[in-house]
Amino acid sequence: MKFWVIIPARYASTRLEGKPLRDIAGKPMIWHVYQNALQSGAERVIIATDDERIYHIAKSFDAEVCMTASTHTSGTERVAEVAQKYHAHADKLIVNLQGDEPLLPPALIHQVADALHNHAYADMATLYEPIEQYDMMFNPHAVKVVTDKQGIALYFSRAPIPWLREEFANKVETLNTTLHARHIGIYAYHAAYLNYCTQLPPCELEKAESLEQLRVLFNGGKIYVTEALTSPGIGVDTEEDLEKVRQLITNNNSDM
């Protein structure tokens, strides 16, 4: 199985400006993401950005990097532009790896590509991990997903789904269920479907939840979801997340 990894990375962020260039153990965040992608078995790894600062930093560590339009409203659109610029064949398998996931293991990058490769009835593939903490269930930054018996997503939401009527009504904080899953924001698609789904207009569900994957479901697309083989680590959305990641990577380096 051959696949590409494309890493969308933008400088502007409402909660943490300049995320890809933030220092982690002496290297910019995007360097850590890129190194993990290189170890995933990908045939090609490309950083996609619209910012000259990110472009030049990526070039400084010999990354393959592509400048994209500044008008994109999502990382998926940025990934699609790169796939088109590099003339990806229609059935080329492409993994969209977010540029703010410096701890996401290479094994999960390969896993999501493999998941789509082995499930031809799906248009896309992504990952989840079980939710075991009550607080995470109600955290709107932790996206929840429910699937059918074949692993095809039925819905994604920032709200707790499914709703445990009795437990949640009585605020029972001990979760004893295998029904709840947190979506991990890494995607695999074939280039043709990637191009197709980015041409679709936003739908009301997507706007309401601020979740672009709902556009795919709204238009009849099938997203295969499988449990991550290992923990994805912490994504970086805030300064607090960044400090946690710095500590984890520093500790890991000191143990080597």
Return the minimum-mean-pLDDT range out of 120-124, 162-166, 196-200, 216-220.
162-166
More confident residue, 123 or 174: 123
pLDDT above 80 (res 122): yes
- Please name which of 56, 162, 186, 171 lies closest in space to residue 113, comparing C-alpha atoms: 186
pLDDT above 90 (res 176): no
- Using only C-alpha atoms, what is the Rg of the chain? 18
Q: For all residues of the chain together, what is the average pLDDT?
A: 93
DSSP string, 35-96: HHHHTTT-SEEEEEES-HHHHHHHHHTT-EEEE--S--SSHHHHHHHHHHHTT--TT-EEEE
Q: What is the pLDDT confidence band of residue 16, given thresholds at 50, 70 and 90? A: confident
The pLDDT of residue 256: 59
Phi, psi angles (nearest 5°) of residue 230: -150, 170
Share of the chain above pLDDT 70, in %: 97
pLDDT above 80 (res 167): no
Whether residue 81 is contained in a domain is answered as yes
Which of the listed ranges 13-17, 99-103, 172-176 does the model predict with the highest average pLDDT? 99-103
pLDDT above 80 (res 243): yes
pTM, two decimal places: 0.93
Burial bucket for residue 225 (CB in 10 Å: 0-12, 13-18, 19+) = buried
What CATH number is associated with residue 89? 3.90.550.10
Count up the domains in the chain and report the number.
1
Whether residue 27 is contained in a domain is answered as yes
60-66, long-range: CB < 8 A, 24+ apart: 61/31, 61/34, 63/30, 63/34
Rounded Cα distance, 4 and 185, in Å: 17
Whether residue 160 is contained in a domain is answered as yes
Per-residue tokens: 5: 């990894």
Q: Which amino acid is at 256?
A: M
Whether residue 248 is contained in a domain is answered as no
Return the minimum-mean-pLDDT range out of 100-114, 155-169, 195-209.
155-169
pLDDT digits (tens, 9 = 90+) for 226-239: 999 999 998 898 89
The pLDDT of residue 107: 98
Q: Are 144 and 158 a contacting pair, CB within 8 Å?
A: yes
In the chain, the N- to C-terminal Cα span, in Å, equals: 32
Share of the chain above pLDDT 90, in %: 82
Whether residue 176 is contained in a domain is answered as yes
The pLDDT of residue 53: 96
Whether residue 252 is contained in a domain is answered as no
- Please name which of 240, 236, 233 lies closest in space to residue 30, comparing C-alpha atoms: 236
pLDDT above 90 (res 17): no
pLDDT above 90 (res 32): yes
The pLDDT of residue 91: 96
Whether residue 254 is contained in a domain is answered as no
Which domain does 99 fall in, by range? Answer: 3-241
Return the minimum-mean-pLDDT range out of 72-76, 82-86, 147-151, 210-214.
72-76
Q: Which residue has the tokens 């479901």?
A: 217
Q: Which helix (H) or strand (E) holds 109?
A: helix 106-117
Q: What is the pLDDT confidence band of residue 114, given thresholds at 50, 70 and 90? A: very high
Whether residue 143 is contained in a domain is answered as yes
For residue 19, count other CB atoms closer than 10 A to its CB. Answer: 25
